[in-house]
Structure 1
Amino acid sequence: MAEFWSNNDRGYRIRLQIDQTSQNIAGNSSQVRVRLSLHNNTYTFDGYNCSAYVDVNGQRLNWSGRPTMLSNNSTIMLIDQTITVGHNTDGTKSFGLSARFSGSGGWSPGTLTIGGNSFTLSTIPRSSSISVGAGTIGSAITINISRQSSSFKHTLRYHWGNKTGTIATNVDTSTTWTIPNDFANEIPNSTSGTGTIYVDTYSGSTKTGTQSVSFRADVPASMKPTFSNITLTDTNGVARGLLTGNNFLQIISNVQVTFNGASGSYGSSITGYRAEIVNRNQVTTSNGGRLGMMNFNGSATIRASVVDSRGRQSDTRDITINVIEYFSPILSFSAVRTRETPNIIRVVRNAKIAPITLSGSQKNVMTLTFKVAPLGSTSYTADNGSATGTFTTQHTLTNSAANMAGNYPANKSFTVIGTLADKFTSIEFSATVATESVVMSYDKDGRVAIGKVVEQGRAGSLDAAGDIYAGGIYFRSGQEIQNHALTKSNGFSIRKDNADFNTIKTSGFYVIGGNVSNHPNLKSTYYYLTVIQHDAANYCYQIAVDRNDGAIFSRVCENGTWRPWFTTKQKEVVLPRNDVITKDIALPFGMSGKLVRQNNVVTLTVERKPVTLGTPGEYKMMNEKIPAGFTPVTQTTLLLMHNAGTTIYPMSKLYLETNKDIRMTWSHSNYSIATGTLTYITNDPYP
């Protein structure tokens, strides 16, 4: 109860009393008793017209009359009335109140007022609150209700994406709810989502209010993409025609992988494919992609999987394949004149092809052909003698002799070319058949031949079948004369343009120009080169002279390894660059990094700063490129760590490609700090 008094007029005062007598919870209202009374002290009156009123919560309660107040310290009750006051929607209520009494003058009171006061009613309990933890789609969660009255009942509802519905009715303080599987259809590109649960509070049949709470639900690991199987196709048509089933051919076959029946789960879509030859580092990431040439033989496993728009990977499927050994045809032969008939040439053949045996049957075919031309001529004629043949069951010839069909005069030399082919490729081997062997011969032009029939040379020339030995003043008896050409026949240097210095190991005098490599410096485009070879190509000595300024460089090859170039003046090694080069690089989604190169070693460091990734993707092409001078020798992967405070998110991957492309794989788009460092090798020229 609250009590308020007015001003004092000669001892007259009015008193206002406010009492909250009861509450209607369902009606959200209270019953309020309002009493206004007149009090005196020593002054009295009788028969005067008077009036009074009380204003409470916007409602006026009036009184009028001719009261009699003849006793000292007495009280007259003017108003005693109970009214209904409605509460606010949250159950609270405060209201202002005032009162006024007006007399007629004389012995009666004047004006008595009460104003500027308020009264607060007890809050009526209204809507209940709820709490719920994170859940997993397809599993049960518990919803807890904190109600303000033990008589309250509740209806629980949900809102998830485009889905709404009722969870339960007539609930007291808690209930369990299994999150429907089809909720996953609303989040096809994410592994978790957020929805809202509403609690409607009822007092009896009257709804007193509604509250809500957000909840998170994760897609269960069991909701992942699937595919029925894969089809393996040999893209080499010849091999495909020879072999059946999952049999393929070493080097020749290139397996194409087709994914069948690939499907996402509960709304997700297929975004990635992967098939690999296990432990062979041969991978394709596209449907219909190829695994590449298989340079091995025997049994192998192809493992396949798909990835959906949530970044979930399917179960893998393994298929066993059989890679049959294959090698290129191997051919060698000797060609000699027969002793009985020198005009007939006999070849002794050594040939071998890959048999490609399947179910005990040879699938490959060996074909051997020969063609002949006079020595020095390019006009070849096919020889279809017994040396030629097609072999369907035989894959090897060992020291197999056969005569050629043509007539090849004994006084002429010939070039014989044999071609060995199988179903896929061929190889050539050549041999020279000299003239008939004689001790010595000569012709009318004065040409002399030793160990052969005269065949070539100018008048007065010597045509020898073998090495030449001499003795005398300058040679010991039986000393072999040097027959190696150190220059051209006219004494000019041997010309070698666009050459690699590392490959010139034969003794001689050379002039080298054009686009050369492994030269001693970058000044000239032409060099004079002297090579001294020591008993094998792996041991030699080079002297190079720069034609522009005459600078002299030399180096030694020991056991196949070239030592550095030295100059004859400075005696210094011409070293590669060793300075440190740094460069800023732009990375995807606003990330940036620092490239540092020394020699051929590059370090990439990602600067630590906030980043928000876009929609998750798999091996996705980015707009940014690797700058020149920093391209990796092989595809290189940078692992990026992501965190927001103490929360660690899944890593993402940056792929640095050999063609300067940057690709990326990531599974979340959370705001995070990205960091990472990578070191790799480059063969780019210094930037």
Structure 2
Amino acid sequence: MATFYSAVAADVKMALRVTETSADVNSNSSTVSWALIGWLVGSSWYSNSSHNISVVINGATVFRRASETKVTISIGTDHTTEANPVTIASGTATIPHDSDGSKTLSASFSCAYKWVASSAWSASGTMALTQIARASQPSCVTYPGTTQDIGYMGSTIYIHTNRASASFTHTVRYAWGSKSGTIANGVENNCQWTLPLDLATEIPNQYSGWGTIYCDTYYGGTFVGTKSVVFKASVPSSTAPAVTITLERPRSTTPAVTGYVQGVDQLKVTISATGKYGATITSYSSTVDGAAYSGSIYTTGILTKSGAIRVTATVTDSRGWKNTVSKDITVQAYTAPAVTSVSAYRCKSATDASLNAAGAISASSQVAVSRRWAAQMEENAQSIGKKPQKQGGNPKYSICRLIHYLAM
């Protein structure tokens, strides 16, 4: 409520009292009541009937009465306070608010007795009305206050309109970097939104970023206004780089030998990785049986252990996400044979190897290998799949065959 007071004239003081009685969100307007009042501040009773009266509210004349319309204004000793005044005129007015819901109205009045110039009263002033909520203020996850960090892309959240009127509907939109789109139309109280994973393409070198939710408010088919709220979203771990490990034997062995052989083979490791949603690969690290390596392609030294060997690779992308994968191989045990003794002698014939110093056949092409050599050859033969030939009860090997095994 606001009251605008005149000066005292003819022992009377007048005032214009304006009261806001209601505010209508849908029409964006307020209703005010007004009253032109007067009371006696002296001892002389005032009573006259020829007055020019005007009341103006918010630029519009809401009451006018010329002096020709003879209505007596009588203020006596029974009305001596503002709390107990004489009401000269009263009424109501509807005041439209500005588009943002705010409004400051102006108010003024004048009352003048036609026959006495000094018997005149007037006042003016302004009054702020209630701020009417207009465009709905959206919020994410919670309401009416928002939650800025809404979680991960790919997750689903609620967007609340926090509308000021049950008659309001909304179009909810988003913007994220160069990407934008409509989330829902005709929204009343809230809607759900699943954040697109491809928002991540806008931040290839960042784990998280910021976007904006826009809420366009409508009353019927009339656009009321737009308000917005910012949000933070992060790239989920599901966008970690895809990684594969390829293992090869860089040098060939005897065709009959399959797999990896201890003390013989090396291991060529190739790590292939691809960043997702615009991310790039920033680092490779790996271990082979606990030994550390760097880079995406490398060759180990000779494999010195047998049994299961694990290759583990970790790849990091430009957002900081890591992916670790492993691959196992089996290395077959192998120990190179050791020759402990060699004997050569003449024998009777190619089919009779018995000792004969006068024999015609030289045994220089025959080698008698100790049982330690024979046992080792048997073990390795079982391991790599190739057995020596036997003559009688003892293994016999030609010099060329022995050299072949030693060169394996």
- Whether TM-score is above 0.5 comes out as yes
Alpha-carbon shift at residue 59 of structure 1 (Å): 6.0
Alpha-carbon shift at residue 84 of structure 1 (Å): 3.6
Contact kept, 8 Å, 2:312 with 2:324, in 1: the verdict is no
| Residue number among 197, 200, 204 corresponding to 2:220 in the alignment | 204
Match of residue 238 from structure 2: 222
Secondary structure at 1:284 match in 2: strand
Match of residue 318 from structure 1: 327
Contact kept, 8 Å, 1:275 with 1:283, in 2: the verdict is yes
Alpha-carbon shift at residue 147 of structure 1 (Å): 2.9
Q: How many matched pairs?
A: 353
Match of residue 282 from structure 2: 271
Match of residue 316 from structure 2: 307
Contact kept, 8 Å, 1:302 with 1:319, in 2: the verdict is yes
Secondary structure at 1:227 match in 2: strand
Alpha-carbon shift at residue 281 of structure 1 (Å): 1.8
Match of residue 97 from structure 1: 107
Spell out, residue by residue over 1:368-425, the C-alpha distance to the aligned partner (whole angstroms, 9 max, x if none).
xxxxxxxxxxxxxxxxxxxx95436764xxxxxxxxxxxxxxxxxxxxxxxxx736xx
User: What does 1:394-413 align with in structure 2 at a 5 Å threshold?
Assistant: 395=405
| Residue number among 204, 218, 221 corresponding to 1:188 in the alignment | 204
Match of residue 83 from structure 2: none
Secondary structure at 1:292 match in 2: coil
Match of residue 132 from structure 2: 124
Match of residue 376 from structure 1: none
Distance, in Å, in 2 between the alignment partners of 1:185 and 1:281 is 36
Spell out, residue by residue over 1:329-376, the C-alpha distance to the aligned partner (whole angstroms, 9 max, x if none).
778889xxxxx9xxxxx999999799776752489xxxxxxxxxxxxx
Match of residue 385 from structure 2: 360
| Residue number among 232, 237, 259 corresponding to 2:271 in the alignment | 259
Alpha-carbon shift at residue 275 of structure 1 (Å): 3.9
More strand by share: 1
Contact kept, 8 Å, 1:44 with 1:108, in 2: the verdict is no
- Tell me, which stretches of 5 or more residues in structure 1 are unaligned? 335-339, 341-345, 364-387, 396-420, 424-687
Contact kept, 8 Å, 1:44 with 1:70, in 2: the verdict is no
Spell out, residue by residue over 1:12-57, the C-alpha distance to the aligned partner (whole angstroms, 9 max, x if none).
544424354665534423354656578886355677xx75655644
Distance, in Å, in 2 between the alignment partners of 1:46 and 1:201 is 53
Q: Which amino acid aligns with 2:319?
A: R
- Tell me, which stretches of 5 or more residues in structure 2 are unaligned? 76-85, 142-146, 344-356, 358-363, 389-397
Secondary structure at 1:73 match in 2: strand
Secondary structure at 1:391 match in 2: helix
Distance, in Å, in 2 between the alignment partners of 1:136 and 1:322 is 44
Contact kept, 8 Å, 2:140 with 2:157, in 1: the verdict is no
CA RMSD of aligned residues (A): 4.6
Q: Structure 1 pair 164/348, CA: closer, same or farther in 2 (3 Å)? A: same
Q: Which amino acid aligns with 2:407?
A: D
Secondary structure at 1:214 match in 2: strand
User: What does 1:65-84 align with in structure 2 at a 5 Å threshold?
Assistant: 65-67=66-68, 73=74, 82=93, 84=95
Q: Structure 1 pair 2/308, CA: closer, same or farther in 2 (3 Å)? A: closer
Spell out, residue by residue over 1:123-158, the C-alpha distance to the aligned partner (whole angstroms, 9 max, x if none).
323233424153332232233443333333233222
Q: Is 2:154 the counterpart of 1:138? A: yes
| Residue number among 156, 173, 192 corresponding to 2:172 in the alignment | 156
Distance, in Å, in 2 between the alignment partners of 1:348 and 1:221 is 66
Of the two structures, which has the highest relative contact order with CA contacts closer than 8 Å and spacing of 6 or more?
Answer: 2
Q: Which amino acid aligns with 1:281?
A: G
User: What does 1:165-564 align with in structure 2 at a 5 Å threshold?
Assistant: 165-234=181-250, 239-240=251-252, 242=254, 247-260=259-272, 262-277=273-288, 280-314=289-323, 316-323=325-332, 325=334, 327=336, 360-361=385-386, 390-391=400-401, 395=405, 422=407
Distance, in Å, in 1 between the alignment partners of 2:130 and 2:200 is 46
Report the TM-score, using the length of structure 2 for normalisation: 0.66
Identity %: 28
Distance, in Å, in 1 between the alignment partners of 2:226 and 2:244 is 48
More helix by share: 2
Alpha-carbon shift at residue 288 of structure 1 (Å): 0.9
Spell out, residue by residue over 1:287-327, the C-alpha distance to the aligned partner (whole angstroms, 9 max, x if none).
11233332223443334453333333436242424255355
Contact kept, 8 Å, 1:246 with 1:321, in 2: the verdict is no
Secondary structure at 2:74 match in 1: coil
